[in-house]
Structure 1
Amino acid sequence: MKKSLLFLLPLALPAIAETDNEQELQDMSDPLAVYTQAGAGYTDKGLNIKVGQTYDTGSDTTLGMNVFEIKGFAGEALGWADTADNSIDSLRYRNFGVDLTNGRGSQVDVNLAFTDGNGAQGSASYSFIQALPKMGPVMLYPLAGAGVAFGETFDTTRDDAQALDRWDLHGTFYVVGMYSKIDVTDKIWLNYNPMFMDSISGSDIHKDIFDNELLHEVSASYQINGRTNIRYFANWNQDSNFADGDHRVEVNYQF
């Protein structure tokens, strides 16, 4: 049950970068860059597809982007996790806003996971992120937010935990954490993104799942050219080790 929380951990947050009418290429290594993009990934649970589109916010000092992801399909044929199957593992939608005047971003993050034995379970959160001054090769981006957990409800008094054919709001939670970027060379960089989550209110099961949950994400990236990079990600928590976590390799292209 705890491991299912790994899908809640955000990927690298798009970055603060001003665009003009000619759509100049943005720094894809910046954890706060906003640009139209597409990506494909190979994971232990199958294939991932990601599409991101910038939009006009109506202000010269803010940027916005929507990102939609389909994760973990064709897993039985191509994945290597014991739980992999050919159905979709999860869906994710994110909306980003960035204020260019103060280096502050915000995000809406909605996840819906389809897990064996737990039915469809999801979360929706809103958080703020602040870029701090660069310290040599290191950039830090503290984050804080809150959200709700929702999904199918089960009759827990039954041994087979039968679904009750309804969706409920399970409870609320908060999240505090940090995105970080470490430049190795002008084409290679590393990220470490720890997130701590805890319940605010809700059912006993919800409180147990979100009880002092510490999530980890690390990535190593290589910029092939101005438009294309390849990235390796690993996600795990305090109840699993690095090897048992989620792993993926993805290629991203900037339009």
Structure 2
Amino acid sequence: MLMATPLAYAERHNNLGTEAVQDMSDPLAVYTQVGLGYTDKGLNLKLGQTFDTGSDSTMGMNVLELKGAFGDALGVRDYADDSIDSLRLRRFGVDLTNGRGSQVDFNYNFNTEAGSLSYSLIQALPAFGALQLYPLAGVGAAFANNALNDSGDTLSGYTVPGTFAVVGTYGKLELTDNIWLNYNPMFMKTLSGSDNYKNHAFADGDNILNHEFAASYQINPKFNIRYFAQWNEQLSYKDGTHIIEFNYQL
């Protein structure tokens, strides 16, 4: 069994005062990046920028994702349009001494005018040969414009209908130095809020198990191509989201 000790972890991730190339297969890697994805709902754009945390033992990164552009022209789903349908903004940090990450995650859907804000912790566990797991746990709050209350009436303006918890893991299986697979299941459960939110927030229920699979090839140390599939128990693999993504480390 390979052990991910704090010293080894820091050596893999340390870019303090350097321009060291980071391991792009590592879910906790921090680096400035750009990405472009072609999906069944249009184009996705990803921009990531590192920032100074003020500490030699930590690193930080902001990542902005804009999703679903030109969906009618380039996508294959009948309901897609050409405007950006959603965005995701993450503020991510990692402690180099213990392999623990933290993440503030903001999501917003322009079509439904609803989103969420959550905070989670991620921990790198010792690797078992080619397999490594990164468990995650967090809590968050949902918000929406013109949401329905328990009586079925529309609430004018933005409100916070409830809160939720998320528990899951990022899983990485390294096949070769350049090829790896990921499986990232995430279980979400409502915690509090209106009865309408608690009972119907996730695919018309109070909980959901989301699945994400990815197959990746590292073309060179700074450039890779990745295939993603995202689905859940209410949405089949075939009807889920499928993405071909190109990522470059700056």
**TM-score of the pair, normalised by structure 2:** 0.90
Partner of 2:138: 145
What's the counterpart of residue 237 of structure 1? 232
Residue 81 of structure 2 aligns to a residue whose secondary structure is coil
Equivalence for 1:11: none
Match of 2:62 in 1: 66
> Matches of residues 11-160 of structure 1 in structure 2 within 5 Å?
17-115=13-111, 119-154=112-147
Residue deviations 1:118-154 (CA, integer Å, cap 9, x gap): x311000000011000100001011100000001124
- Identical counterparts, % of pairs: 60
Q: Is the 8 A contact 2:42 2:74 kept in 1?
A: yes
What SS does structure 1 have at the residue aligned with 2:197? helix
Instruction: State how far apart, in whole Å, the 2-side matches of 1:127 and 1:33 are.
Output: 16
Q: How far has the Cα of 1:81 moved from its partner?
A: 1.2
Q: Name the residue aligned to 2:222.
A: 227
Query: CA shift at 1:248, angstroms?
Result: 0.7
Q: CA deviation at 1:82?
A: 2.1
- Asked if the contact 1:45/1:89 (under 8 Å) is kept, the reply is no
Which amino acid in the other structure matches residue 57 of structure 1? T
Could you say if the C-alpha distance between residues 243 and 89 of structure 1 is closer, same or farther in structure 2, counting changes exceeding 3 Å?
A: same
Amino acid at match of 2:175: V
Structure 1 pair 163/72, CA: closer, same or farther in 2 (3 Å)?
farther
Is the alpha carbon distance of 1:155 and 1:59 closer, same or farther for their aligned partners in structure 2, counting shifts above 3 Å? closer
Query: In 1, distance between residues paired with 2:225 and 2:62?
Result: 21
Match of 2:5 in 1: none
Kindly provide the CA deviation profile for residues 128-184 of structure 1, in whole angstroms up to 9, marking residues without a partner as x: 0110001000010111000000011245799xx996541110100000000010001
Q: Determine if the alignment matches structure 1 residue 201 to structure 2 residue 192.
A: yes
| 8 A Cα contact 1:194 1:215, kept in partner | yes
For the residue of structure 2 that corresponds to 1:224, the secondary structure is strand
Which residues in structure 2 correspond to 1:242-253 (within 5 Å)? 242-253=237-248
Cα distance change on mapping 1:168 and 1:22 into 2, 3 Å: same
CA contact (8 A) 2:149 2:196 kept: no
Find the aligned partners of 2:220 and 2:64 in 1 and give their Cα distance.
24
Q: How many residues align?
A: 235
Q: Contact 1:152/1:163 (CA < 8 Å) preserved in 2?
A: no
Shift of 1:21: 2.2
CA distance in 2, matches of 1:183, 1:196: 24
Q: Which segments of structure 1 move beyond 3 Å, counting only runs of 4 or more? A: 154-158, 161-165
- In structure 2, runs of 5+ residues without a counterpart are 1-11
Note if contact 2:150-2:196 (Cα within 8 Å) is conserved in structure 1.
no
